[in-house]
Amino acid sequence: MALFVTGFLLSLSLSLDLGTVNVAMIRVGIRHGPRPAFFLGLGSCLGDLAYAGASLVAISFILQSLVVRWALWLLGTLVLLVLAYRMLRESLHEHQLPGVAAPAGAPASSMRQLAQGFGLAISSPSAILWFATVGGSIIAASAGAQSALLPFFSGFFISGVLWSLAIALLSGQGRRVLGPRLVRWFSIGSAALFLYLALKVFFDGYNTLLQG
């Protein structure tokens, strides 16, 4: 159960950043309704899952180097703290969601939305940075054993699907729901989760590298 929760929270922390995929889901939801927005988010979940699997394989080899383990420990903690600070700072300002004002034509097919979501996820600079510095080390530490793969990645994928469903339903309600207040709560929740993961990465690394 603990591995499921770890995977769930890791995926949630990635989802909470108001980045390209979230803005795209909100835009599609407002223009075309919840179904296309959900398939766009589902595609991004598959892209994140592919990154997570690749991180597990790559990081397992890379972490054999003590220097790399120290670098990932310190850099991962720093990146999470910076993200927490950024989200907290953004929660204090008004936000406008870009690209949501224009009226819509016909929505793309479900499979096309799925493919677009996958492409957005694997091309996102923030996702690349996340899995290279933070996600990879947490995944390797949490799902290193074969018996841990199913619960960890189940939690990781289910979290992304539930997030996509929530964003799709909310955005489908229209512009009235998606005001600056909702974005502010996203930022506050993201800051809290980033801070939690920063502490987890720091103390896990401390216990492994300095106390182990």
Residue-wise pLDDT tens digits, 14-57? 787 656 678 778 778 877 788 999 999 999 999 888 887 777 77
Q: Is the pLDDT of residue 106 over 60?
A: no
Note the pLDDT of residue 46: 93
CA–CA gap between residue 36 and residue 111 (Å, rounded):
9
What are the structure tokens assigned to 14, written together? Answer: 């990635």
pLDDT over 80 (residue 181)? no
Say if residue 173's pLDDT is above 70.
yes
- Give residue 159's pLDDT band: very low, low, confident or very high (50, 70, 90): very high
Question: Which pLDDT score is estimated for 90?
Answer: 72
Identify which has the larger pLDDT, 64 or 42. Answer: 42
Q: Quick count: other Cβ atoms within 10 Å of Cβ 125?
A: 9
Contact 52, 160 (CB under 8 A): no
Average pLDDT over the chain, rounded to whole?
Answer: 75
Query: What is the reported pLDDT for 38?
Result: 94
What confidence category does residue 143 fall into, taking pLDDT thresholds of 50, 70 and 90? low
Q: Residue holding tokens 């996509």?
A: 164
Place of tokens 């793969």: 149
- pLDDT of 105 > 60? The answer is no
Q: Report pLDDT for 99.
A: 47
- Location of structure tokens 């991962």: 76
Q: For residue 134, is pLDDT > 60?
A: yes
The total number of residues shown for the chain amounts to: 212
d(Cα 113, Cα 119) in Å, to the nearest integer? Answer: 10
Q: Are 205 and 198 in contact (CB under 8 A)?
A: no
> What is the pLDDT averaged over residues 148-153?
78
- Residue 104: what pLDDT? 47
pLDDT at 100: 45
Residue spans per domain, the chain: 2-210
